[in-house]
Structure 1
Amino acid sequence: MPVFAVIAVLALLIVVHELGHFMAARLQNIHVNRFSIGFGPILWKYQGPETEYALRAFPLGGFVGFPDDDPESSNIPENDPNLLRNRPVLDRAIVISAGVIANLIFAYLVLLVQFGGFGVPDGINYQPGVLVPQVVSQESAAAVAGIKSGDIILAIDGKELGASEQAIPALKEAIESHPNQPLKLKIQRDTETFSVRVTPAPSADGTGRIGVQLAPSGTAKYRPAKSIAEVFSLAANRFEAIFVGTVQGFYQLITNFGDTVGQIAGPVKIVEQGAKVAQSDSANLFLFAAIISINLAVINSLPLPALDGGQLAFLLLEAFRGKPLPTHIQDGVMQTGLMLLLGLGIFLIIRDTTQLEVIQRLFQ
């Protein structure tokens, strides 16, 4: 089932990220005493010669633990050169940044597999209408009218959109040219067809907007790659496009938080959207994995407490000061950041779960 495939992909991305930290440490002979997927109570564990491997109750990430401040590892002398804290700044920076690097490398490899295994995209077998892959926010005109992610818009004001590449431009032109004017949309949802009225809201330039993303309705066509060089080139181009788009998306979130905060998705929403993508085309599961892996890399690069970027920021301060910040300051900032991160994760899980169609039906 697509849902389980998407969950497996997310779990794999967490393992890849933490494995990056783990391998960067072990290859430098740095002591590692814990490798955990998830947080909280231990569900399963295996004690290796030096490292404890564990699965924990809350699957909101993972961590690699070091014995530097672990009371259970008191048999290791404090001046041991293979403790992480006793290594030069560069060695520690390599360990901290290795998770991000692993996710980026993994994303590129996934794209190589997609283009090499499934072939090169070669157009679309168009079906009638325009697909709505995402409704931007619950306050948008589309959401108010009852449009949901996965719906297909078949017609607007009685004009059929048809099965061609002209369907999206025709729909956009009709919406943009009718700000504050109600439009009748014919919607297909699964096997059901019905009509809704939506009133486009005027944007800053005066054109109408209903707050949805649009995509062609149909299935992708593929052709075999002409050469291995084409596979590597296409994978690199797609990787660059996803990476640049992801960075731009986070920039917009920071600079225009009020209008974009509704687009933040938690694990439940990611699984829901990924399942829909994979259901339409199994090859899209690879693209989904690459997109999420790059997003995970960019998020962890942000200079925020409890993220890899936050730890790198502390190392940068240490390099400038010539000595690290006091341990109690670093621990306080990191623990506060971790609690906020877990709190945000739980909030997003609850919010996205309550917005699932199956849950909403229970309260209708």
Structure 2
Amino acid sequence: MTLVFFIIALGILVIVHEWGHFIIARKSGIRVEKFSIGFGPTLFKIQGRETEFRVALLPLGGYVKLYGEDPEAEAEGDEQKAKAIAASPDSFTGKPARFRLATVLGGPVMNLVLAFVVMPFVFLIGRQVPAILEKPPVILGVMENSPAKAVNLEKGDIIQSINEESFQKWGDVLNWIMLHPNQEIKMVVTRDGVEKEIHTTITDAPDSRQKMGYLGIEPQYFWGNDPIVGDIVANGPAFSSGLKSGDFITAVNDEKISTWTQMTDKIRASNGKPISLGYLRQGVEGGVTITPAYNEDAKAYLIGITRFTNPDLYVVQKFSPGKAITHGLQETYRLSLLTLDVVKRLFSFDLSYKTLGGPLQIAQASGQAAKSGLGEFLYFLCFMSLQLGILNLLPIPVLDGGHVLFMAIEGIIRRPLSLKVKMVAMQTGMALLLGLMILITFNDVDRIWGIGDLITKAKGLF
């Protein structure tokens, strides 16, 4: 089902984007020859009055083919024919700059409009979020051997600012930390009513394949982190051990533990050797011995239990129509600023490409969002639409922003750029984007399956 939701989400985004180009072109009197969803071989097509609508095999994008978008290429070297195409009243090139600019911007603008229009419905339908994300950033605990521990941050410290940026909610603090790995920071906290200035360096998260920041004060390590058994996986190592849902784990190999994180760390460190678990069940102590099994997906030793999720730790963000519109617009604006910040930091090399997600991670995220409900899926769709709209405005040839750049240069020099110059620029832009996509996809594969593990398996076949 993950693939199905991925195709649905991507299909919606592509259709909206290309429809933006299409409708503005039509309104401007420009002939649209093709409207394609997907690339490659045609699966089916419908011929309209002047436009061929088609669905292609590879659902990774789409395009509209405008008549006269590139007269020289369309004329195949025939100079007279190229001039005739450029002078045609329904030619893209023959239209005034304002119509051409509007047509090019129509796609990304429609993606931005989609996000601003749909996001209020997210808060009208409702989406479930951890309650801690809406609470003030009071430190709930400090992980051992973490950057926060090294500079003596303490439980109860209230985070006021990081690098002069103020915060009111844990959700904003978490986003900031995750997007700034390997960065030196100045943090101002309040402890017992007195402000303290802390200097440290955000490191890479030790428990994630994805490159993201880590301080060791993130609330997910402490909020709702009680070692209470939720579900027991059928036929897993714990299935026939006698462990039951609701058991409170108190010890691993006779060592006391108080959090789910401590328990899982010790299980993963077992390397498959039998471990003893002490537990409390309705106030009565008990114990079991289990042999962890290696899980290929998690790349770790597990015993086949899930953490109990206390519904009281979550809140549903659901509002009346008026408030839903306000919250929707505010959230879309916040996500827009977040996306712009990521783009800026990528181009200034302050952020690694490894923080980005490619098609595999997007597919995973779309599936997870859909399983969480309609509100979460629409939220994911809005965020992706925002990113698609903003990234398409970058002045890189082959993107819409690249076409705007060409038009700006032509306006300055007061003549069209030659086909050769455009082709070289387009090929360079395509090479850059393909190279980035390959790196991101490689990173996806490494994050999900582990490149090292795949290489080891491949060697085992020979």
Secondary structure at the counterpart of residue 382 of structure 2 = helix
- Counterparts of 1:30-179 in structure 2, within 5 Å, are 30-68=30-68, 69=71, 70=74, 77-78=84-85, 79-118=87-126, 123=131, 142-143=205-206, 147=208, 161=222, 163=224
Contact 1:106 1:293 survives alignment (8 Å) = yes
Q: Which has the larger radius of gyration?
A: 2
- Counterparts of 1:276-295 in structure 2, within 5 Å, are 276-295=368-387
Partner of 1:254: 347
Q: Does 2:328 correspond to 1:235?
A: yes
Which of 322, 325, 345 does residue 437 from structure 2 map onto?
345
Secondary structure at the counterpart of residue 105 of structure 1 = helix
Deviation string, structure 1 residues 25-72 (Cα, Å, up to 9, x no partner): 011221110111223333332222211222233333211111224359
Residue 224 of structure 1 and its aligned partner are, at CA, apart by 4.8
Residue 359 of structure 1 and its aligned partner are, at CA, apart by 8.8
> What is the aligned residue count?
308
Q: Distance in 2 between matches of 1:237 and 1:54?
A: 37
* Change in 2 beyond 3 A, CA 1:224/1:355: closer
Provide TM-score, normalisation by structure 1: 0.71
Contact 1:187 1:196 survives alignment (8 Å) = no
Gaps of 5+ in 1: 150-154, 165-183, 198-216
Residue 358 of structure 1 and its aligned partner are, at CA, apart by 9.3
* Change in 2 beyond 3 A, CA 1:283/1:318: same
Q: Distance in 2 between matches of 1:318 and 1:92?
A: 12
Deviation string, structure 1 residues 179-221 (Cα, Å, up to 9, x no partner): xxxxx943659xxx83459xxxxxxxxxxxxxxxxxxx77643
Which of 393, 399, 410 does residue 301 from structure 1 map onto?
393
Deviation string, structure 1 residues 104-145 (Cα, Å, up to 9, x no partner): 00011220221222379794799xx99x999889997545xx
Partner of 1:275: 367
Secondary structure at the counterpart of residue 93 of structure 2 = helix
Contact 2:35 2:63 survives alignment (8 Å) = yes
Residue 291 of structure 1 and its aligned partner are, at CA, apart by 0.8
* Change in 2 beyond 3 A, CA 1:106/1:231: same
Q: Distance in 2 between matches of 1:186 and 1:248?
A: 35
Secondary structure at the counterpart of residue 99 of structure 1 = helix
Contact 1:35 1:53 survives alignment (8 Å) = yes
Q: Distance in 1 between matches of 2:437 and 2:353?
A: 14
Partner of 2:319: 225
Deviation string, structure 1 residues 239-294 (Cα, Å, up to 9, x no partner): 1100011101111111125x422112211121123333443454221111111111
* Change in 2 beyond 3 A, CA 1:90/1:75: closer
Residue 89 of structure 1 and its aligned partner are, at CA, apart by 0.8
Q: Which has the higher helix share?
A: 1
* Change in 2 beyond 3 A, CA 1:296/1:61: same
Contact 1:185 1:196 survives alignment (8 Å) = no
Secondary structure at the counterpart of residue 430 of structure 2 = helix
Structure 1 window deviating more from structure 2 (343-352 vs 79-88): it is 343-352
Q: Distance in 2 between matches of 1:187 and 1:286?
A: 35
Residue 98 of structure 1 and its aligned partner are, at CA, apart by 0.6
Structure 1 window deviating more from structure 2 (322-331 vs 230-239): it is 322-331
* Change in 2 beyond 3 A, CA 1:137/1:3: farther
Secondary structure at the counterpart of residue 241 of structure 1 = helix
Partner of 2:262: 186
Which of 309, 315, 322 does residue 407 from structure 2 map onto?
315
Identity %: 27
Structure 1 window deviating more from structure 2 (336-345 vs 300-309): it is 336-345
Contact 2:125 2:375 survives alignment (8 Å) = no
Contact 2:9 2:366 survives alignment (8 Å) = no
Contact 2:2 2:364 survives alignment (8 Å) = no
* Change in 2 beyond 3 A, CA 1:188/1:292: farther
Contact 1:136 1:262 survives alignment (8 Å) = no
Contact 1:318 1:324 survives alignment (8 Å) = yes
Partner of 2:252: none
* Change in 2 beyond 3 A, CA 1:255/1:47: same
Contact 1:124 1:221 survives alignment (8 Å) = no
Gaps of 5+ in 2: 135-140, 144-173, 183-202, 211-215, 226-259, 271-308, 458-462
Partner of 2:17: 17
Residue 20 of structure 1 and its aligned partner are, at CA, apart by 0.5
Deviation string, structure 1 residues 288-333 (Cα, Å, up to 9, x no partner): 1111111111110100010001100111112222222123211331
Contact 2:108 2:390 survives alignment (8 Å) = yes
Q: Distance in 2 between matches of 1:36 and 1:96?
A: 16
Contact 2:7 2:59 survives alignment (8 Å) = no
The one-letter code sitting in structure 1 at the alignment partner of 2:224 is A
Contact 1:2 1:279 survives alignment (8 Å) = no
Q: Distance in 1 between matches of 2:34 and 2:394?
A: 24
Partner of 1:336: 428
Structure 1 window deviating more from structure 2 (294-303 vs 346-355): it is 346-355
* Change in 2 beyond 3 A, CA 1:236/1:66: same
